[in-house]
Amino acid sequence: MPLLTKSIKGTQDVLPQESHKWRYLEQSALEVAENFGFREVRTPVFEHTELFQRGVGDTTDVVQKEMYTFLDKGERSITLRPEGTAGVVRSFLEHGLFNEPMPQKLCYLTSCYRYEKPQAGRLREFHQFGVECFGTADPAADAEIIALAKQYFDFLGVRDLRLELNSIGCKECRKDYHKALHDYFSARKDKLCPTCVERLDRNPMRILDCKVPACGEIAADAPKVTDYLCDDCRAHFEQVQKYLGAMDIPFTVNPSIVRGLDYYSRTVFEFVSSSIGAQGTVCGGGRYDGLAEELGGPHTPALGFALGLERLMLLMESQGLPFPEAETCSLYIASMGEAAAQKAAELVCALRRDGIHAEFDVVGRSVKAQMKFANKLGADFTLVLGDSELESGKAVLKNMKSGETTDVELASFPGDFMRISISESLKTLEDLGVDTNIDLNALFYNND
Same domain, 261 and 347: no
Same domain, 404 and 432: yes
Same domain, 341 and 410: yes
Residue 11 lies in a domain: no
Residue 8 lies in a domain: no
- Going from the C-alpha of 262 to that of each of 60, 143, 169, 205, 248, the distances in angstroms are 7, 21, 13, 9, 30
Domain total of the chain: 2
**pLDDT value of position 279:** 65
Neighbour-count burial of 197, counting CB atoms closer than 10 A to its CB (0-12 exposed, 13-18 middle, 19+ buried):
middle
CA dihedral (293, 297, 302, 305) positive or negative:
negative
What is the Cα–Cα distance from 158 to 425, expressed in whole angstroms? 29
Rounded to 10 deg, the angle between the 309-318 and 16-35 helix axes is: 110
Mean pLDDT for all residues in the chain = 91
Residue 310 lies in a domain: yes
Cβ count near 32 (within 10 Å): 22
- Going from the C-alpha of 218 to that of each of 122, 195, 212, the distances in angstroms are 25, 14, 10
84 or 258: whose pLDDT is higher?
Answer: 84
Rounded to 10 deg, the angle between the 171-186 and 194-202 helix axes is: 140
Residue 425 pLDDT > 70: no
119 or 236: whose pLDDT is higher?
Answer: 236
Residue 282 pLDDT > 80: yes
Residue 255 pLDDT > 70: yes
**pLDDT value of position 440:** 44
User: In Å, how far from its chain's centre is CA 213?
Assistant: 30
- DSSP letter (8 states) at residue 37: T
**pLDDT value of position 95:** 98
Q: Three-state DSSP class for 429?
A: helix
> For the domain that residue 52 is a member of, what is the CATH number?
3.30.930.10
**pLDDT value of position 251:** 97
Same domain, 377 and 243: no
**pLDDT value of position 379:** 96
Residue 445 pLDDT > 90: no
Same domain, 435 and 286: no
Same domain, 307 and 164: yes
Boundary residue ending a domain (318, 350, 382): 318
Same domain, 374 and 414: yes
> For the domain that residue 349 is a member of, what is the CATH number?
3.40.50.800
29 or 120: whose pLDDT is higher?
Answer: 29
Residue 255 lies in a domain: yes
Partners of 78 in beta bridges: 48, 70
Which of the four pLDDT bands, split at 50, 70 and 90, describes residue 448? very low
Boundary residue ending a domain (294, 318, 342): 318
- Going from the C-alpha of 223 to that of each of 170, 205, 207, 414, the distances in angstroms are 16, 10, 12, 72
Amino acid at 257: I
Residue 100 lies in a domain: yes
First to last CA, the chain: 64
pTM (2 d.p.): 0.88
The residue segments making up the domain with residue 36 are: 16-170+230-318
Residue 439 lies in a domain: yes
| Residue 52 neighbours by CB under 8 Å, 6+ apart | 62, 63, 67, 79, 81, 82, 83, 86
How are beta strands 252-253 and 161-167 bridged, if at all?
A: parallel
CA dihedral (332, 27, 108, 319) positive or negative:
negative
Same domain, 95 and 36: yes
Same domain, 338 and 314: no
Q: Three-state DSSP class for 314?
A: helix
Query: Where is average pLDDT lowest: 95-104, 182-191, 302-311, 430-439?
Result: 430-439
Residue 217 lies in a domain: no
**pLDDT value of position 443:** 45
Same domain, 306 and 411: no
Same domain, 394 and 422: yes
Boundary residue ending a domain (271, 292, 318): 318
Residue 187 lies in a domain: no
Which of the four pLDDT bands, split at 50, 70 and 90, describes residue 246? very high
Same domain, 247 and 311: yes
Residue 159 pLDDT > 70: yes
At 336-387, the pLDDT tens digits run 999 999 999 999 999 999 899 999 999 999 999 999 999 999 999 999 999 9
